[in-house]
């Protein structure tokens, strides 16, 4: 979970609108799978939700009772069975709703590939775990970059 948390870009670089500060609640994360130790590494709903909340909190956006509700659905986690370099691609749908107006602000599907090389981890299971985490982190990064594009106005929302 910690390796999926995105905290690398400074807030000033992303430049979030003040109207989003402490206003995003992660309502639900679905579609993930728990890792089966006897099989392959996966991304669980719980770990992705925690990584997402920590990432939002790092930038001052998370609130358990915010104006904006974020629903997350993991549509697909495409993983290789074996290989030297392992690329995992997650497809995640992010839906952000303004609960005051019941307006959907963001409804996008993000495809985020990440390749873990044999140089990062010699063991295949470890490479797959790193590729899963990297793909999840890139997906969260995309969401944060998209949130930074939003401009909140007192009455309406614009991009």
Model confidence pLDDT, tens digit, residues 51-62: 999 999 999 999
Contact 99, 109 (CB under 8 A): no
Domain positions in the chain are 16-150
Q: What is the pTM of this model?
A: 0.85
- Which stretch of DSSP H or E encloses residue 133? helix 124-149
Q: Which CATH code of 3.90.1170.30, 3.30.1280.10, 3.90.1150.10, 3.40.50.10610 fits the domain covering 16-150?
A: 3.40.50.10610
pLDDT band for position 91 (50/70/90)? very high
For 129-155, write each residue's pLDDT tens digit. 899 999 999 999 999 999 999 987 643
Q: Which two tokens stand for residue 31?
A: 């579609």
**Are the C-beta atoms of 60 and 21 separated by less than 8 Å?**
yes
Q: What is the DSSP letter of 107?
A: E
CA-nearest of 97, 94, 98, 95 to 111 is 94
């Amino acid at each position: 979970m910690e390796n999926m948390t995105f905290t690398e870009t400074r807030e000033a670089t992303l430049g979030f609108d003040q109207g989003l500060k402490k206003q995003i609640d992660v309502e639900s994360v679905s579609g993930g799978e728990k890792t089966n130790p006897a099989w392959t590494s996966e991304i669980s709903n719980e770990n992705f939700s925690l990584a997402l909340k920590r990432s939002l909190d790092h930038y001052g956006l998370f609130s358990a009772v915010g104006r904006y509700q974020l629903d997350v659905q993991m549509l697909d986690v495409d993983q290789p069975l074996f290989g030297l370099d392992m690329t995992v691609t997650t497809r995640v749908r992010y839906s952000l709703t303004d609960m005051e107006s019941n307006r959907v602000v963001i409804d996008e599907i993000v495809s985020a590939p990440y390749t873990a090389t044999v140089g990062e981890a010699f063991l295949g299971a470890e490479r797959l775990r790193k590729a899963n985490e990297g793909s999840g982190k890139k997906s969260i990064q995309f969401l944060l970059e998209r949130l930074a594009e939003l401009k909140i106005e007192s009455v309406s929302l614009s991009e």
